[in-house]
């Protein structure tokens, strides 16, 4: 929807925002201008400073330098709620909804004085219904938020902002959790909003979306604004280079030489706690020397499958085979004993112990091996030697093996976990979002290592929400939707659009 | 059967309501804290401090209601300390709570010894007297149980209604419930989690102290050591039993007090001659543990309970 | 305000803040002493003298420290695994009870048994005592803080019941008191003529053993992993519930040894006032020691000194002995804050 935005009134202006955390400059004199009825995209890698900038806008952080101006008014620094009252609404990537409250309650939260009696729910409810209709955000106001789907929750988040008469909408990675169809509906909502004179900041790292929805693109790198351009005057490739500051080369694996089936599931169902969707009658074969890419919108059963392979969950029905043998009684320990290497989705909460040293983290899965301990006694010298080997071989940048892992960057933390997994010489590797949140250098490194492990004969299951990553790395692709698995598609036999339809749940009935 | 005679006597139910009263105050106090996301293990000590402060004030010459107010202030003071350490600083709610219990208890004992160094038997005050509600108190059994109590007991029931009203009918209650479930939801709407949680802990601690003051100013007429005797811990169990809802917690407190009143009466019966009295005294504690086990699977724990909130955490 | 982690806290910071915390608690308590109309310096002097001013005083302090080392270790080892054992008091009494059951011939039980057997039996008793709450925690998710606290009251009533019933000493002149242990079930003194029994030495040995377990064994590694991040521990194949049970066994056993040592080493029989809250004070001891097993020894001696000194002081001055509890409570709260500040700094915005 390109229009000549510069003629319009300026609704938001960030002037020379600078924010330092210790030695790190998270934002370096960033200027942003937003006009009425305009959609701008804020593009940048993880850690480029997008989140910090938004935290400053909303008063969660105080900027070291610079000011925030909304509709010509300078907001007081560090005053949470000032931006909100001035008419800025934010849709967070991690929803800020209380699951024990209803949709209406979540929308009303904080909208009237805490000391008032808060009457007029009827009126509020009809206003919410009216807004929902106007912007195409269908949702039941009396439903408990905890029972809503991810897409519905996002609609509630947008309604929250609209209910407060927000004139500026900021959306942080809004499509990460949506199916392609839900994303289209979201874009439709945004178009309606812009038609009514609202302005939108769209934070993303997905280039296609940025090209489709925005009028103007701003690119952040290492806290600095490195590019600003009209969307119709640029290309995805140019934006990508601006974003990472170098020519991007995704590693391209050579032709795979698939070997024997190392792990297979036959009609497995499981509903481990903590996941919205379980596994429904899943058949799966992982072959030596092959990367299987598992695509899908997050929360469609990938977590349950990962839990199953890592031993945290057991099959409720169906069979699990390791090569020619039936799997033993299943547990994390049994999974490790079956030589399954596991790269968990969340390296902070699941993959490492924050206050443990690198040594202690390196041996987390192997401390019972004879090399590291004997008859219940730790051999710390051996443990440290092992950690040093991992640090050296996997390029973990750190002061030394005694450093607490919480002090490492995400990339170095992930390299240590990767090293811990690969050094155990696994036959099967479960790589769950292995490069999420890493900078481009670490991404390439991790991907190359996985390809090398495949070439050495490992069977790899790569779970990712990033279609580009799946299409680039996987030898065969399967799609997960609502706990079901699509058929296998060899590399190059399926287009992103077709994958999108499977992700939306189409085709399963026919296949079944 | 003696047990049926007991169950149908007005004095038994009156005693049950009396025993429940301090528990109701303290349970509501703890419930408010936990709804906002803070476990307050200072409850036991804060009850001791309230019991002492209220009683001491009256002994020193203030009126009874002024005594209740002073007890509440004492509780709020310890609540402020608890809240400061656990909310903005995010320190372990277990350790701080136990520390507050130790501090409040020893402060009360120290002050008691300081104020009354020489006494051997604890001095008495004139406590709250029962206030008979006309007409209603004439209802058989229930009338005497519910409508011939001291004003503090009536206040306890009012507090339950008020807590429920605020939690479920006002914007403040909405914000409190959200703060205990997902603090970032509160912060995203421009409210301060820190202020909400600190306020909840301070108010809740005030209520706990009034619960303690009930012991010295309504149930009994003097202060003595060990008088709270684990009631605070029982209240924590009652909050779980009540699934973090004021009405259910009230029912739990009444049920619990009824068992307590029953065991006291059973000690006087033929059964009491056979069974050692310690067994009867154990019943409240055992019931609390059973209540915890029973409710553990069903209860809807506030999701952010015991999790400190760090604004804009990176 | 916001808390910002410090990557490399300076030595001044990591020693300075705890020192300031201790100093501040002494200042606070001095004000309370002033309130009592006494001179703070004189009072502190009297406490110091009462705790360590003579050989008798110093030995009394070490005797008082003995059960505190055991309960302090019990708490420290449990808190490492984030197992909130507030029931050391109950475990102590169970340990004392088992010691009496196996240590006297007056009850008609097959006692007295060899001392070492009695010790192990009491440990087993205390361990089993904590197993219940831990199973409730792992099976049903029942918070162990409340269950262990409530069990303290139940166990004390149970002991009272026994002391007024089957365990009552017929020679006790009506007091609720158990029969005395036989001579061979008593812990001897370390040096003849000095009033300090082998329980103290046993406590020191236990501190070293716990330290070795925590730093040198796979169990210690597992305990620390489970305490710091149970999710990651479970993922890495550490059997979290089993580790919690083992920790409970260790913790309950150590607390029970406090009862064993008090009965077999000091009192000779079981009474209802065997412990003036050693179990609860163990929490303060452990926290002041930052959960370090060897630190527990020092902190137990410090805490015992405060109590013994305050007893001596209150006989001479007009300050109630509860000043000791006040000092420890303030020290505990200041200390947890100080430890936080060694690792984080407060920043604005």
Share above pLDDT 70 across residues of chain B, in percent, rounded to a whole number: 98
Q: Which residue of C has its CA nearest to B237?
A: C146
State how far residue C211 is from chain A, nearest Cα, in angstroms: 13
CB B74 within 8 A of CB B105: no
**Does B174 sit within 8 Å of A100, measured CB to CB?**
no
- How does pLDDT run across B233-260, given as a tens digit for each residue? 999 999 998 999 999 999 999 999 998 8
State how far residue B105 is from chain C, nearest Cα, in angstroms: 9
pLDDT of residue A177: 72
With b meaning 16 or more CB within 10 Å and e meaning fewer, what string describes A189-213? Answer: bbbebbeeebbbbbbbbbbebbbeb
Looking at per-residue pLDDT, the higher value among A118 and A207 belongs to A207
Share above pLDDT 70 across residues of chain A, in percent, rounded to a whole number: 97
State how far residue B31 is from chain A, nearest Cα, in angstroms: 16
For C220, the token pair is 């210690």
Which residue in A188, A193, A172 sits closest to A37, CA to CA?
A193
**Does C235 sit within 8 Å of A352, measured CB to CB?**
no
Element (H, E) at A427: none
Share above pLDDT 90 across residues of chain B, in percent, rounded to a whole number: 68
3-class DSSP state for residue A170? strand
**Does C224 sit within 8 Å of A376, measured CB to CB?**
no
- Chain B interface mutation, best of A62, A92, A102, A110, highest count of B Cβ atoms under 10 Å: A110
Write down which chains contact chain B via at least 3 CB pairs under 8 A. A, C
For residue C5, list chain A residues with Cβ-Cβ distance below 8 A.
Answer: 406
| CA separation for the pair A13, A70 (Å, rounded) | 6
Residue A512 has pLDDT above 70, yes or no: no
List A490's β-bridge partners, or say none: A476
**Does C326 sit within 8 Å of B98, measured CB to CB?**
no
3-class DSSP state for residue C208? helix
Q: Which residue of B has its CA nearest to C319?
A: B114
3-class DSSP state for residue C347? strand
- The pLDDT mean for chain B works out to 91
- How does pLDDT run across C51-96, given as a tens digit for each residue? 999 999 999 999 999 999 999 999 999 999 999 999 999 999 999 9
Please, which residues have CB within 8 angstroms of residue C114's CB and are 6 or more apart in sequence?
C184
Q: What is the mean pLDDT of residues A169-180?
A: 82
User: For chain B, how many residues are written?
Assistant: 314
Cα C70–C73–C75 angle (5° rounding)? 110
Q: How far is CA A286 from the centre of its chain?
A: 25
- How does pLDDT run across C85-128, given as a tens digit for each residue? 999 999 999 999 999 998 888 777 776 678 899 999 999 999 99
Q: Which of A140-144, A385-389, B61-65, B295-299 has the lowest mean pLDDT?
A: B295-299
State how far residue B292 is from chain C, nearest Cα, in angstroms: 6
Would you give the DSSP letter of residue A268? E
Q: Touching check for C136 and chain B: CB below 8 Å?
A: yes
CB B208 within 8 A of CB B46: yes
For residue C228, list chain A residues with Cβ-Cβ distance below 8 A.
Answer: 353-356
Please, which residues have CB within 8 angstroms of residue A238's CB and are 6 or more apart in sequence?
none
What is the bridge-based pairing of β-strands A261-270 and A279-287? antiparallel
For residue B90, list chain C residues with Cβ-Cβ distance below 8 A.
Answer: 3, 340
Residue A6 has pLDDT above 70, yes or no: no
Q: Using CA of residue A486, residue A488, residue A491, residue A493, what is the dihedral sign?
A: negative
Please, which pLDDT band fits residue A214 given cuts at 50, 70 and 90?
very high
**Does C217 sit within 8 Å of A377, measured CB to CB?**
yes
Residue B289 has pLDDT above 90, yes or no: yes
CB atoms within 10 A of CB A324: 7
Please, which residues have CB within 8 angstroms of residue A44's CB and are 6 or more apart in sequence?
A50, A205, A219, A220, A221, A243
Q: What is the mean pLDDT of residues A288-296?
A: 95
Q: How far is CA A130 from the centre of its chain?
A: 32
Please, which pLDDT band fits residue A261 given cuts at 50, 70 and 90?
very high
CB atoms within 10 A of CB C315: 10
For residue B81, list chain C residues with Cβ-Cβ distance below 8 A.
Answer: 333
Query: Could you give the C-alpha distances from C344 to A240, B96, C349, in angstroms and in order?
Result: 37, 18, 15
CB atoms within 10 A of CB A492: 8
Query: Could you give the C-alpha distances from A124 to A16, A127, A130, B232, C169, in angstroms and in order?
Result: 39, 5, 10, 41, 74
Q: What is the mean pLDDT of residues B157-165?
A: 97
List A19's β-bridge partners, or say none: A27
pLDDT of residue B311: 58
Q: What is the mean pLDDT of residues A177-191?
A: 84
pLDDT of residue B95: 93
Which residue in A354, B75, B278 sits closest to C165, CA to CA?
B278
Phi, psi of A26 (to 5 degrees): -80, -35
Write down which chains contact chain A via at least 3 CB pairs under 8 A. B, C
C136, C326, C333 ranked by CB distance to B106: nearest: C326
- How does pLDDT run across A349-378, given as a tens digit for each residue? 999 999 999 999 999 999 999 999 999 999
Please, which pLDDT band fits residue A2 given cuts at 50, 70 and 90?
very low
Please, which pLDDT band fits residue B313 given cuts at 50, 70 and 90?
very low
CB atoms within 10 A of CB C177: 20
| CA separation for the pair C344, B89 (Å, rounded) | 10
For B67, the token pair is 């005594």
CB B193 within 8 A of CB B309: yes
- How does pLDDT run across A429-480, given as a tens digit for each residue? 999 999 887 777 788 899 999 999 999 999 999 999 878 889 889 999 999 9
Beta strands in A332-376 (DSSP E): 340-343, 373-374
Please, which pLDDT band fits residue C166 given cuts at 50, 70 and 90?
confident
For chains B and C, count residue pairs whose Cβ atoms are closer than 8 Å: 125
For A180, the token pair is 């392609």
For residue C282, list chain B residues with Cβ-Cβ distance below 8 A.
Answer: none
C217, C231, C348 ranked by CB distance to A349: nearest: C231
| CA separation for the pair C244, A344 (Å, rounded) | 24
- Chain B interface mutation, best of C141, C153, C286, C334, highest count of B Cβ atoms under 10 Å: C153
Please, which pLDDT band fits residue A489 given cuts at 50, 70 and 90?
very high
- Chain C interface mutation, best of B48, B52, B98, highest count of C Cβ atoms under 10 Å: B98
- How does pLDDT run across C18-30, given as a tens digit for each residue? 999 999 999 999 9
- How does pLDDT run across C30-50, given as a tens digit for each residue? 999 999 888 999 999 999 999
State how far residue A456 is from chain B, nearest Cα, in angstroms: 38
pLDDT of residue B99: 96
Element (H, E) at A175: none
- Chain C interface mutation, best of A18, A65, A364, A432, highest count of C Cβ atoms under 10 Å: A364
Q: What is the mean pLDDT of residues A330-342?
A: 96
**Does A98 sit within 8 Å of B178, measured CB to CB?**
yes
Residue with tokens 């475990």: C91
Assign 3-class secondary structure to C103-138: HCCCCCCCCCCCHHHHHHHHHHHHHHHHHHHHHHHH
- Chain C interface mutation, best of B86, B232, B278, highest count of C Cβ atoms under 10 Å: B278
| CA separation for the pair B224, B252 (Å, rounded) | 27
For A453, the token pair is 């492990």
Phi, psi of B125 (to 5 degrees): -120, 170
Residue with tokens 């309130």: C35
| CA separation for the pair A398, C279 (Å, rounded) | 43
Residue C337 has pLDDT above 90, yes or no: yes
Residue with tokens 């009658």: A281
Element (H, E) at A3: none
Cα A350–A351–A352 angle (5° rounding)? 100
| CA separation for the pair A415, A439 (Å, rounded) | 12
Residue A28 has pLDDT above 50, yes or no: yes
Q: What pTM does this model have?
A: 0.91
Q: Using CA of residue C13, residue C15, residue C16, residue C17, what is the dihedral sign?
A: positive
Torsion of CA A255, A260, A262, A267, to 10 degrees: 100
With b meaning 16 or more CB within 10 Å and e meaning fewer, what string describes C216-247? Answer: bbbbbbbbbbbbbbbbbbbbbbbbbeebbbbb
**DSSP secondary structure letters along A30-49:** EEEEEETT-EEEEE--TTSS
| CA separation for the pair C91, C71 (Å, rounded) | 9
- The pLDDT mean for chain A works out to 89
Residue A149 has pLDDT above 50, yes or no: yes
Q: Which of A259-263, A360-364, B298-302 has the lowest mean pLDDT?
A: B298-302
Q: Using CA of residue A354, residue A355, residue A360, residue A364, what is the dihedral sign?
A: negative
Residue C65: exposure state from Cβ atoms within 10 A (0-12, 13-18, ≥19): buried
- Angle between helix axes C198-216 and C55-80 (nearest 10 degrees) is 30
B171, B178, B189 ranked by CB distance to A113: nearest: B171
**Does C348 sit within 8 Å of A311, measured CB to CB?**
no
Q: What is the mean pLDDT of residues A283-310?
A: 93
Please, which pLDDT band fits residue B314 given cuts at 50, 70 and 90?
very low
**Does C235 sit within 8 Å of A407, measured CB to CB?**
no
pLDDT of residue A148: 85
| CA separation for the pair C239, C71 (Å, rounded) | 26
Please, which residues have CB within 8 angstroms of residue C206's CB and are 6 or more apart in sequence?
C69, C70, C73, C254, C257
Please, which pLDDT band fits residue B205 given cuts at 50, 70 and 90?
very high
pLDDT of residue B1: 59
């Amino acid at each position: 929807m390109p229009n000549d935005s510069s003629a319009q009134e300026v609704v938001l202006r960030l002037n020379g925002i600078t924010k330092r955390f210790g030695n790190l400059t998270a934002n370096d004199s960033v200027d942003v201008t937003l006009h009425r009825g305009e959609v701008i995209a804020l593009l940048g890698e993880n850690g480029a400073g997008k989140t910090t900038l938004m935290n400053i806008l909303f008063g969660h952080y105080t900027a070291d330098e610079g000011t925030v101006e909304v509709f010509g008014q300078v907001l007081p620094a560090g005053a949470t709620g000032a931006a909100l009252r001035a008419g800025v609404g934010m849709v967070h990537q991690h929803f800020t909804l209380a699951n024990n409250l209803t949709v209406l309650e979540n929308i009303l939260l904080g909208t009237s004085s805490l000391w008032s009696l808060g009457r007029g729910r009827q009126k509020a409810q009809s206003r919410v219904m009216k807004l929902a209709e106007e912007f195409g955000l269908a949702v039941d106001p009396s439903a408990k938020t905890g029972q809503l789907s991810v897409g519905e929750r996002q609609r509630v988040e947008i309604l929250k902002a609209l209910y407060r008469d927000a004139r500026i909408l900021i959306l942080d990675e809004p499509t990460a959790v949506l199916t392609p169809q839900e994303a289209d509906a979201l874009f439709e909502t945004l178009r309606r909003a812009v038609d009514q004179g609202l302005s939108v900041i769209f934070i993303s790292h997905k280039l296609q979306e940025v090209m489709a929805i925005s009028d103007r693109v701003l690119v952040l790198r290492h806290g600095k604004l490195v590019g600003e351009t009209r969307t119709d005057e640029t290309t995805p490739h140019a934006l990508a280079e601006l974003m990472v500051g170098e020519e991007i080369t995704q590693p391209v694996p050579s032709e795979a030489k698939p070997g024997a089936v190392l792990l297979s599931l036959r009609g497995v169902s499981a509903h481990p706690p903590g996941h919205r969707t379980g596994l429904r009658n899943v058949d799966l074969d992982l072959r030596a020397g092959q990367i299987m890419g598992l695509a899908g919108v997050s929360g469609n059963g990938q977590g349950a499958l990962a839990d199953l392979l890592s031993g945290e969950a057991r099959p409720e029905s169906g069979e699990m085979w390791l090569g020619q043998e039936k799997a033993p009684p299943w547990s994390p320990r049994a999974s490790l004993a079956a030589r399954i290497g596991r790269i968990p989705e969340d390296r902070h909460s699941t993959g490492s112990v924050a206050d443990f040293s690198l040594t202690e983290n390196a041996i987390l899965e192997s401390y019972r091996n004879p090399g590291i301990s004997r008859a219940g006694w730790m051999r710390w010298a051996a443990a440290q030697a092992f950690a040093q080997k991992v640090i050296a071989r996997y390029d973990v940048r750190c002061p030394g093996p005694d450093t607490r892992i919480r002090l490492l960057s995400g990339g170095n933390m992930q390299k240590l976990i990767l090293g811990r997994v690969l050094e155990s010489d696994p036959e099967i590797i479960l790589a769950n979002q292995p490069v999420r949140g890493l900078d481009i250098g670490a991404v390439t490194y991790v991907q190359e290592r996985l390809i090398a492990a495949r070439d050495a004969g490992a069977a790899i299951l790569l779970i990712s929400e990033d279609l580009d990553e799946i299409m680039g790395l996987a030898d065969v692709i399967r799609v997960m939707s609502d706990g079901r698995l699509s058929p296998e598609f060899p590399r190059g036999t399926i287009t992103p659009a077709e994958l999108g339809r499977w992700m939306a749940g189409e085709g399963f009935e026919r296949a079944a | 059967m003696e047990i049926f005679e007991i169950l149908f006597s007005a004095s038994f139910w009156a005693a049950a309501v009396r025993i429940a009263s301090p528990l109701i105050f303290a349970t509501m106090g703890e419930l408010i804290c936990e709804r906002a996301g803070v476990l307050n293990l200072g409850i036991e000590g804060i009850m001791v401090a309230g019991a002492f402060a209220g009683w001491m004030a009256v002994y020193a010459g203030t009126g009874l209601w002024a005594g209740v107010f002073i007890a509440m202030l004492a509780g709020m003071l310890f609540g402020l300390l608890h809240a400061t350490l656990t909310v903005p600083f995010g320190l372990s709610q277990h350790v701080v709570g136990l520390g507050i219990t130790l501090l409040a208890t020893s402060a009360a004992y120290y002050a008691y010894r300081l104020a009354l160094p020489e006494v051997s038997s604890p001095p008495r005050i004139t406590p709250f007297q029962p206030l008979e509600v006309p007409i209603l108190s004439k209802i058989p059994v229930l009338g005497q149980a519910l409508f011939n109590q001291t004003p503090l007991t009536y206040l306890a029931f009012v507090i339950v209604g008020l807590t429920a009203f605020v939690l479920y009918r006002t914007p403040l209650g909405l914000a409190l419930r959200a703060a205990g479930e997902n603090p970032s939801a509160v912060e995203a709407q421009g409210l301060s989690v820190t202020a909400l949680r600190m306020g909840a802990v301070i108010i809740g601690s005030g209520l706990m102290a009034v619960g303690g003051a009930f012991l010295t100013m309504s149930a009994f007429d003097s202060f003595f050591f060990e008088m709270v005797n684990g009631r605070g811990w029982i209240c924590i169990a009652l909050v779980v039993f009540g699934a973090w809802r004021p009405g259910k917690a009230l029912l739990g407190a009444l049920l619990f007090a009824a068992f307590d009143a029953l065991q006291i009466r059973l000690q006087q019966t033929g059964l009491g001659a056979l069974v050692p009295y310690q067994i009867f005294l154990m019943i409240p504690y055992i019931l609390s543990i059973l209540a915890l086990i029973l409710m553990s699977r069903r209860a809807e724990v506030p999701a952010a309970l015991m999790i400190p909130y760090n604004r804009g955490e990176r | 305000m916001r808390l910002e982690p410090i990557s490399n806290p300076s030595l001044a910071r990591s020693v300075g803040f705890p020192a300031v915390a201790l100093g501040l608690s002494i200042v606070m308590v001095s004000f309370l002493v002033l309130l009592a109309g006494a001179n703070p310096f004189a009072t502190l002097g009297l406490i110091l003298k009462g705790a360590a001013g003579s050989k008798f005083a110093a030995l009394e302090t070490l005797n008082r420290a003995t059960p505190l080392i055991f309960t302090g270790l019990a708490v420290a080892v449990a808190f490492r695994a984030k197992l909130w054992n507030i029931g050391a008091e109950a475990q102590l009494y169970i340990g004392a009870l088992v010691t009496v059951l196996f240590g006297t011939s007056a009850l008609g039980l097959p006692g007295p048994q060899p001392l070492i057997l009695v010790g192990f039996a009491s440990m087993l008793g205390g361990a089993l005592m904590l197993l219940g709450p831990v199973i409730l925690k792992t099976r049903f998710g029942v918070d162990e803080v409340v269950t262990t606290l409530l069990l303290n009251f139940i166990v004390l009533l149970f002991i009272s019941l026994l002391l007024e019933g089957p365990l009552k000493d017929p020679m006790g002149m009506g007091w609720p008191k158990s029969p005395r242990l036989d001579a061979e079930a008593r812990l001897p003194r370390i040096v003849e003529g000095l009033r300090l029994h082998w329980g103290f030495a046993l406590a020191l040995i236990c501190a070293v053993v716990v330290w070795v377990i925590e730093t040198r064994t796979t169990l210690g590694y597992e305990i620390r992993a489970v305490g710091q991040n149970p999710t990651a521990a479970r993922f890495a194949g550490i059997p979290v519930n089993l580790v919690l049970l083992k920790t409970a066994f260790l913790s309950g056993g150590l607390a029970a040894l406090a009862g064993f040592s008090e009965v077999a080493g000091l009192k000779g029989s079981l009474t209802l006032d065997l412990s003036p809250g050693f179990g609860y004070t163990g929490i303060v001891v452990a926290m002041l020691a930052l959960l370090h097993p060897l630190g527990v020894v020092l902190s137990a001696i410090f805490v015992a000194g405060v109590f013994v000194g305050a007893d001596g002081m209150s006989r001479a001055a007009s300050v109630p002995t509860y000043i000791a509890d006040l000092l420890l409570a303030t020290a505990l709260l200041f200390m947890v804050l100080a430890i936080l500040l060694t690792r984080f700094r407060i920043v604005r915005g």
